[in-house]
A and B are shown apart, each in its own frame.
Chain A
Amino acid sequence: MKRWIAIVVIVLVAMAVPQVLNPSGYWMRVFTLTLLFAAMAQAWNLIGGLANQLSLGHAAFFGIGAYTSTILLLKFGISPWIGMFAAGALGGLAALVIAVPTMRLQGHYFALATLAFGEVARVIANVWTSLTGGPGGLSVPFVPPSFAAYSFKQLLPHAYIALVALIIVTVIFEVIRRGAMGYRLRAIRENAAAAEVIGIDTTKVKLQTAVISGVLTAMLGTLFAQVAVFFDPDTAFSAASISIRVALIAIIGGVGTAVGPILGAFFIVPIEELMNDLFSSGAAGLSQLIFGVILIVVILWRPRGLVTIFEALRARLQGRGAQS
């Protein structure tokens, strides 16, 4: 009950925030990106948290999503709302292609292999000029503003779309985590041989999870393209600013929980923006350095993520309740 009240309050606050921000201002942009990155970290959380496989290749799905809808819009005038589903289909296919050879790898090997796949996707996008426009990048063409065309005069609608996306991805994550698939994924994570022996098709479960994560990430890539308006292969398929960042957000927030990626995104994305603002006039790289130091401190303080702050708080409150 308390839990539901908290969820409703948080959603209402999130819905109110865009109303007090400048409809096309800098903070509206930060807020929208934060929501999108939270949703992406949540999609990553399926593989990284439930299956406990550290994917560093999610930029592949993200980039495929951004490019698919934009190419469909440019070449055939197809609305990104529809392009988003084509993006999801291709993202799912790419996830399958990457998962089949990497699924059996453990730990660092899985991380490195997925990182390599992400880089391969970036190189392909750079080289396949006839389709992607190559290193020059793509601009989402201007179309007369309408909801059907996914074109708006202000940033404000993008913020609400991102909020809805985050809610949908979080619900999907939670349904999977609590359902039969969640039990199977935890079993595989904790002892794959035992999981097989009691009847879990470990290959199938891992592939399903990878595909769901790939589909969602690609669809979010489509949403990102509408906010960014312009992108090139090195940004849409970026290992550092997409793949690693998404993993980092989930890890800092707390993997395997629905709250973790959201906390992580609201911590990392605004701080990163703030650092860039505050120290952009200083020495080159100063903002990244300070950002890095903050991350290290947080990781040392909360190795299992910011989400553990709430657990500690709850334990303390309950302890006090028991004393009185």
Chain B
Amino acid sequence: MTILDVRGISRRFGGLQALSDVTFSVPKGQIVGLIGPNGAGKTTFFSTLCGLIKPDSGAIMLDGTSIVGQKPHKVAGLGMTKTFQNVALFAESSVLDNVLTAGLLRHDVEKARERALACLDRVGLRSVAHKMAGNLSFPERARVELARALCTDPKVLLLDEVMAALNPVEMQEIMDLIRQLRDDGITLLVVEHHMRAIMAICDRILVLNFGRLLADGSPREVANDPVVIEAYLGRSAEGHV
């Protein structure tokens, strides 16, 4: 069953074609990796999916509902949200309040607090629930982003480099969490620069280059695709792009 269907999405910023004719669809319950060099348009694509950026053309269907031109809060209500690569927390609020606020999308304050604590448990941040979000380290803040997005009860979750700056142990924890979320029925799109992590957790990988979809296949297929190696993997010997 298709949960997300993207048809011919294009978006220009002045003279720059940030996205051009991106088309693919995702069945429910997949973990899809989205990779590509810096500036390829990954973040722009996520912002377009969740309604922060309007595409110049194209169609997006979320679970059978057209969401192009809808505001982000509508898209969140329909079940798709994202984390921010640069971390966009409510810095002067507590970690708990950051996550609780997302729970208010579907619950009252009391229920949202319970949900928020459960989400903080899942990302391993329950112990800092009462700290001010702005005072956390960068990796911790990225995990608050994840907990907050989770607390909206999404069907489709877009993760924009949540593993940046994590140590290997923390990275493994997040990878386990992503698999658990998939098992819970959430569909995930994951932008990540750590190739090993991407290859390990993703059922499928999309490669974006200059706003264009270059390849779409299993990790093995993509890793062996000559076009991808030529345009992208070939440029970095250490496997960390």
Q: Is the beta-carbon distance between A198 and B93 smaller than 8 angstroms?
A: no
Name the residue in B52, B104, B148, B149 with the highest tally of chain A Cβ atoms < 10 Å from its Cβ: B104
Give 1 or 0 for each of B71-114: 1 = CB within 8 Å of chain A CB: 11100110001101000111111000100111011001100100
* B50 CB within 8 Å of chain A: yes
The answer to whether residues A199 and B88 also contact, given A183-B97, A190-B93 and a CB cut-off of 8 A, is no
Collect the chain B residues with CB atoms within 8 Å of residue A196's CB. 51-52, 71-73, 76
Bitwise interface map of A from 171 to 205 toward B, beta carbon under 8 Å scored 1, else 0: 00000000110011011001101111111111100
Question: Given A186-B90, A197-B52: A180 and B71 within 8 A (CB)?
Answer: no
**Chain B contacts of A186 at CB under 8 A?**
90, 92-93, 97, 101
Residues of A contacting B84 with CB < 8 Å? 193-194, 197
Q: Within 8 Å of chain A (Cβ to Cβ): is B43?
A: no
A312 to chain B, nearest CB (A): 19
Q: Does chain A have a CB within 8 A of B30? A: no
The answer to whether A187 touches B101, judged by C-beta atoms less than 8 angstroms apart, is: yes
Which of B51, B81, B104, B108 is the one whose CB lies under 8 Å from A184? B104
Cα separation A23 to B110 with both chains bound (whole Å): 47
Q: Compute how far the CA of A180 lies from the CA of B104 in the bound complex, rounded to whole angstroms.
A: 7
> Min CB distance, A176 to chain B, in Å?
12
| A186-B90, A186-B97, A190-B92 as given contacts; A198 in contact with B52, CB under 8 Å | no
Per the bound structure, the CA–CA distance linking A190 and B101 in Å amounts to: 12
Residue among B52, B77, B101, B112 with most chain A CB within 10 A: B101
Taken together as a complex, chains A and B put the C-alpha atoms of A180 and B51 apart, in Å, by 23
* B93/A199 in contact, CB under 8 A: no
> What is the size category of the interface that chain A forms with chain B?
10 to 19
> How many A-B pairs with Cβ below 8 Å?
78
Query: Taking the complex as formed, is B152 at the interface, i.e. its CB lies under 8 A from any CB of chain A?
Result: yes
A186 CA / B89 CA spacing, docked (Å): 11
> Are A183 and B100 in contact (CB-based, < 8 A)?
yes
Chain A residue contacts of B89, Cβ below 8 A: 190-191, 194
User: Cα distance A195–B76 when bound, in Å?
Assistant: 10
* Residues of the B chain whose Cβ atoms lie less than 8 Å from the Cβ of A198: 76, 81, 101-102, 105, 148-149, 151-152
Quote the shortest CB–CB distance from B70 to chain A (angstroms): 11
CB-CB < 8 A to A187: which residues of B? 90, 93, 101
CB distance from B108 to the nearest CB of A (A): 7
Give the contacts of B108-141 with A (CB-CB under 8 A).
108-109, 112
Which residues of B lie under 8 Å from residue A195 when comparing CB positions? 90, 101
**Which chain A positions have C-beta within 8 A of B101?**
183-184, 186-187, 195, 198, 200
> Looking at the complex, which one of A183, A197, A200 makes contact with B109 (CB distance below 8 Å)?
A183
CA distance A68 to B91 in the complex (A): 43
**Inter-chain contact A193/B76, CB cutoff 8 Å:** no
Neighbouring B residues of A179 by C-beta, 8 Å: 109
Q: Which residues of B contact A191 (CB under 8 A)?
A: 88-91
Question: A197 touches which one: B50, B92, B93 (CB < 8 A)?
Answer: B50
Which of A180, A183, A190, A200 is B73 in contact with, Cβ under 8 Å? A200
Q: How many whole Å from A141's CB to the nearest CB in chain B?
A: 48
Chain B residue with minimal CB distance to A181? B104
With the chains together, A65 CA to B84 CA distance in Å? 44
User: Which residue of the partner chain, among B76, B91, B92, contacts A199 with CB atoms under 8 Å?
Assistant: B76
Which residues of B lie under 8 Å from residue A201 when comparing CB positions? Answer: 71, 73
A203 to chain B, nearest CB (A): 8
Known: A186-B93, A187-B101, A191-B90. Contact between A202 and B73, CB under 8 A? yes
Closest to B50 in A: A197
Q: How far is the CB of B184 from chain A (nearest CB, A)?
A: 19
Least Cβ distance of B160 to chain A in Å?
A: 11
Q: How far is the CB of B153 from chain A (nearest CB, A)?
A: 10
Q: Which residues on the B side are within 8 Å of A200 (C-beta)?
A: 73, 101, 104-105
Interchain nearest-CB distance for B11 vs A (Å):
17
CA distance in complex: A201, B88 (Å): 17
Residues of A close to B149: CB separation below 8 A: 198
Nearest residue (CB) in A for B148 is A198
- In contact, B108 and A199 (Cβ under 8 angstroms): no
Q: Which residue of A lies closest to B78 (CB)?
A: A199
For A202, list chain B residues within 8 Å (CB).
Answer: 73
Chain B proximity of A97: nearest CB distance (Å): 22
Give the docked Cα–Cα distance between A190 and B97 (Å): 12
Would you mind naming 14 contact pairs between A and B with Cβ atoms under 8 Å apart? A183-B100, A186-B97, A187-B90, A190-B90, A190-B92, A191-B91, A195-B90, A196-B51, A196-B52, A198-B76, A198-B101, A198-B152, A199-B105, A200-B73
Give me the 10 closest cross-chain CB pairs, A-B, nearest first.
A199-B105, A199-B76, A196-B72, A190-B90, A194-B88, A198-B102, A183-B101, A201-B73, A197-B72, A187-B101
| Known A180-B109, A194-B90; 15 more pairs at CB < 8 Å | A184-B104, A190-B90, A190-B91, A193-B88, A194-B88, A195-B90, A196-B76, A197-B76, A198-B105, A198-B151, A198-B152, A199-B81, A199-B152, A200-B73, A200-B101
Residues of A within 8 A of B (CB): 179-180, 183-184, 186-187, 190-191, 193-203
Interface residues of B (CB under 8 A from A): 50-52, 71-73, 76-77, 81-82, 84, 88-93, 97, 100-102, 104-105, 108-109, 112, 148-149, 151-152
